[in-house]
Structure 1
Amino acid sequence: MTYKVLIVDDSSFFRHQIKSIIDAHPDLTVIGEASHGREAVEKTLKLKPDIVTMDYEMPLMDGITAVREIMAKQPTPILMFSSMTHAGARITLDALDAGAVDFLPKGYENVAHEQSLLRQQLIEKLLHIVKSHRRKTTAPAVPAPARPLPVAKAGVRVRAPELVMIGTSTGGPVALQKVLTQIPASFNAPILVIQHMPAAFTGAYAERLNGICPLTVKEAEDGDSFAAGTVLLAPGGKQMMLSAKNRVKIFAGDDRLNYKPCIDVTFGSAAKYYSNNVLAIVMTGMGSDGKEGARLLKARGAHIWAQEGKTCVIDGMPSAVVKADLADDIVPLDQIAGKMVAMTKGS
C-alpha cells in the first residue's frame, strides 16, 4: 500500500529535498506541496493526505495555527520539522499540544546528505505514524475472537511504591503532560521520567511541565537526589541511571545505544536498588525500549504497567512489554494518574 504525503514548507529547496526522499520509498508518495499554513489547510481538505510534514515559520499562517485548523477540520497525522534550539523546542511543544504527532530536526545540510540519519528517521517516522493511524481508524469495533486483546493480570498486590518510573517516546510529551498534571503535590513517591527527546528539548519540556504540574519538575543533573513530590526528567542526548537508592548519575553513555536517553538503562539501574517497591510504566512510543529494563525490574518483584495500545499514538513500546508477558496491568492513558495515586495510598 502506498501512503500519501503532503509537504508544507516555505522553502522550495527543503520541499524538493524532502520530496526526493519520500518519493524514493515504494510505500510513500508526495501528492502535494504547500508553501504556507493557509495553503496547507486547503490542500489537506482537498487532497486528504495520509500524513502531513509541517514547518513552523511560514508566511500568511504559521505551522501551529495550521495544525490546529487541520485537526479541527480534517484530522490528519502531522509530523513537525523543528529547529534544534530552546526557542524551537518551545514552539514544537506548542505544535504537539495543538495536535501534531511527532517532530524531526530541520537541517538543510542534514537532509541534503544522502547518508544522513535524518533521511532514515524521516522515512521511519512517516511509516510508523501513518500505519499506526491506519490501524486505529480501520480496526473493527470488536476484536476478532481468534485474537483477543491481552488483559490485565488480576489479583496482584504490591507495596506502595517508593519510586515511580515512566518511559515513553513518540506521543509521549502530550501523554506525559496529561498524566503529570493530574498528580497532586502530595504524591508520596518521586517520579523519574525517560522521554526520547533531543538535548535541546528536555530543558524546555521540564520548564513547561513545572509550570503546569502540581509537582516540582526539573531536568535531571548529575548527582541530583530525588524525593516524594518531585519529578526528574532525563536530559536529552545523555543517559540517566541510579547511582544510589535516591540519586541519579547523568553521563554521555555508549554511542552504540539507539536512544539517548534510553529507558532500558534507567529501568535496569533501578533494579539494583529497588525490588517490589517500584512501579515502572511504559507508555506510547516506537520500538521496544523499556522491555529489557522492565524484565530486570520484574525479576526483582517490581510492578510493571503498559499503556493500553488504543490510547497510544504508537503502541510499539507498550506492546513489546505486553507480548513479553511483563505487564502486571494494561492501563488506558486517562486512568494512569488515578491508579498511580491510589497505589501510593496503598489502595
Structure 2
Amino acid sequence: MTTATNEYPTKAYGATAPDSGVGPMQITRRGLRHDDVLIEITHCGICHSDLHSARNDWGGTTYPIVPGHEIVGTVSAIGDSVTRHAVGDRVAIGCMVDSCLECSHCEADLEQYCKSGGMTGTYNGTDRRDGTQTFGGYSERIVCREEFVLRLPASLPSAEAAPLLCAGITSYSPLRTWKVGPGSKVAVAGLGGLGHMGVKLAAAMGAEVTVLSRSESKRDDAAKLGAHAFLNTEDKAAMKAARGTFDMVLNTIPVRHDVVPYLHLLRIDGVQVLVGLIGPMPEIHTGVLLGRKVLTGSGIGGLAETQEMLDFCAEKNILPEIEVIAMQDIAAAYDRMEASDIKYRFVIDMESLRAA
C-alpha cells in the first residue's frame, strides 16, 4: 500500500471570470485522507456543461473554476484505509465526488440525488469536510474519495471511455429506469453527444430505435450508429402518422424547444425523458398529458448504475464517437461544440498538459 499526505501542486486549465476563456492555471490538490485515491488523469471528456459553467450561463459559478467531469486515469497513491483500488489500477470519475452516503437516497444507490445537501459536484462544488472548492478534470491529477472512483473494465480504451462518465450514464440511466429492452420502441430526439450514446445503448438493449431530427443530414449517421429508423420532425404527415407509437422519447435536445410534438408520439403510459434541456421550457397545455403521457427529467446515475453502465459498454463493445484534442486547443473545441461541429464528443489527452 502506498500512502501520501502532502499536497500536490497541479497544472490545470480553468476560467477566472465569465469572459476570461479557459486557460492555464496552477491549483493544489489536497493531501490524501485515509479514504482518498490519487489519480493521474490520462483523458478527460468535454461536456456542454463545462462550457456553460465556465461562462456562468446558468449562474452559480464560483471562480476560479476548473471544469471536467468525464475523467479517466491511473491510481498513483491511496490512503491508509482504501480497499477498493490499488496503485496502477485504471479508474474513472464522473460528475460527483461525494455525498452523505447515509440518507435514504444514498442507501438506495441514488447518490446523485443525495438528500443531505445534494451530491458534491466534481467541479464547482464544495468539499463536505473542509469547505474548499472542488476542481475538475482539466488537470494533471485529482484526489477523490474511494467510493466515488469507478473501476474501468480492461476492454474499454481510456480515451473512448471518458465520455461514458457523463454522456453515457445520462443516456443509460433513464433507459434502465424505464426498463427498455427487447420489444421496446424508443425514439431519440437530437443526435449529439448524448443522443448518439442513447441510440447505441438503446439498440444494444434490444429496443427498436428511431432518431428524431429536423435535419435530414442526420439520417445516414443515425443508421450508422445503429438506429432502425429516422423520422424528420419537419415532416408533418410523418409525425402525425407516428402518433401513439413509442414507449419512450429520450429527449437530448439541449436548447429551449417545444416538447409537445414528442408527447404526441407516445403511446398510453409512454414517457418523454428530458436529459438535455436545463432551464425554462415553453408552457404546455395539460390536455396533451391526459392520454397518460409522462413528461419527466433524469440526471446522471448513481455509483452502482454507473459501474453497471461501464461494464455493459465493455460487454457490448459500445464506445462513443470521439475526437482527441490537446489541452491547448480547448477554446477552438468550445467554439466547434457550440457550432455542433463535432461527431460526437471531444476528449482531451492530458499528456498535452503535462508536456506544456
TM-score, normalised relative to structure 1: 0.36
Please, what TM-score do these two structures have when normalized by structure 2? Answer: 0.35
- Tell me which protein shows more strand as a share of its residues: 2
Higher relative contact order (CA 8 A, sep 6+): 2
